[in-house]
């Protein structure tokens, strides 16, 4: 199954109500194809078309809801809560100030059988390749101490450890490939950026605040549910190739499993995560 077919699987069976976040120049469920989609983005369409004037700006559709922070569900009328069939967010969650907040807003906005459909960069296969994965604890901290901008730590890490291919910067970091790369910024350059950065004032500075592999993302979803902070479980995942993995989340209709089962599943996901990082090390360093 290809990428778009996986993301939209089942949504043609009845006229669905869809929220698509950050569709920009690559909408998954575009209105022009007849999808009844509510488009959410950080700016109105005219501003986005100016921003992406050198790219496929014609694909940008009218933005129905401008969302620049705070709970997403608060940007929707109360009488629309619980009425949507799906929320689609492609390459969005890694930018959010509060990923846990998205999970909670999805719980408010979606029908009982609604799905949260995500395309997530695999940190091993993009410019985040040299960064460690994000933890549930870091996500919890971001949720409990809301910010209007990314913290200095996220700005530093995203900038200082960002890398690029030296042979062809536009190529993805393919599995099994010993990618030649350079780090983009030196520490003193990033420090100069951070020294003038204010979390309270000035313009928003966008970064990849969160980094995941398929297993580390599944671990975070499990741990948030185990703490009662999210109702979501992973229904299905897909790795179509390229820089990302895809995940469909559904509400867990069964109670939180007993401690022994949770611990067993956590351990399994941690071992999978280590295997993913080992694979990446083998690609870049060679086995042995």
Task: State pLDDT tens for residues 109-134.
Answer: 999 999 999 999 999 999 999 999 99
Contact yes or no for 184/164 (Cβ under 8 A): yes
DSSP strand E in 98-240: where?
110-121, 163-165, 181-183, 232-238
Distance of CA 59 to the CA centre of its chain: 21
Residue spans per domain, the chain: 3-285
Q: Are strands 244-251 and 110-121 parallel, antiparallel or unpaired?
A: antiparallel
pTM value? Answer: 0.95
Task: Retrieve residue 121's tokens.
Answer: 């960069």
Q: How far apart are CA 34 and CA 231, in angstroms?
A: 31
**DSSP 8-class letter at 210:** -
What phi, psi does 163 have (nearest 5°)?
-130, 165
Mean pLDDT, the chain, rounded, equals 94
pLDDT on residue 288: 61
Span 233-261, average pLDDT: 94
Q: Grade residue 13 by pLDDT with cuts at 50, 70 and 90.
A: low
Domain 3-285 fold: Rossmann fold (3.40.50)
Span 241-255, average pLDDT: 94
The share of the chain scoring above pLDDT 90, in percent, equals: 84
Q: Grade residue 287 by pLDDT with cuts at 50, 70 and 90.
A: low
| DSSP three-state, residue 271 | helix
Q: Is the pLDDT of residue 202 over 90?
A: no
């Amino acid at each position: 199954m290809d990428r778009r077919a996986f993301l939209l699987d089942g949504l043609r069976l009845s006229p669905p109500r869809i929220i698509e976040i950050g569709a920009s120049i690559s909408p998954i469920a575009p209105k022009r194809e007849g999808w009844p989609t509510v488009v959410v983005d950080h700016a109105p369409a005219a501003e986005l078309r100016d921003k992406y004037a050198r790219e496929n700006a014609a694909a940008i559709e009218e933005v129905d809801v401008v969302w620049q922070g705070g709970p997403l569900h608060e940007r929707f009328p109360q009488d629309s809560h619980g009425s949507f069939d799906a929320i689609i967010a492609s390459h969005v969650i890694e930018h959010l100030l509060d990923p846990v907040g998205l999970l909670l807003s999805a719980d408010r906005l979606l029908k009982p059988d609604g799905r949260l459909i995500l395309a997530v960069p695999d940190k091993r296969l993009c410019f985040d390749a040299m960064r460690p994965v994000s933890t549930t604890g870091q996500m919890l901290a971001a949720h409990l101490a809301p910010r209007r901008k990314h913290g200095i730590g996220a700005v530093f890490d995203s900038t200082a450890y960002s890398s690029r291919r030296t042979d062809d910067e536009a190529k993805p970091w393919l599995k099994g490939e010993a990618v030649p790369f350079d780090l983009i910024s030196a520490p003193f350059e990033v420090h100069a950026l951070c020294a003038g950065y204010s979390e309270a004032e000035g313009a928003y500075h966008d970064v990849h605040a969160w980094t995941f592999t398929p297993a580390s993302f599944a671990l975070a979803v499990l741990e948030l549910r185990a703490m009662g902070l999210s109702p979501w479980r992973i229904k299905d995942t897909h790795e179509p190739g390229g820089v990302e993995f895809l995940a469909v989340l559904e509400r867990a209709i069964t109670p939180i499993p007993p401690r022994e089962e949770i611990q067993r599943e956590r351990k399994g996901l941690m071992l999978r995560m280590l295997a993913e990082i080992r694979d990446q090390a083998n690609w870049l360093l060679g086995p042995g």
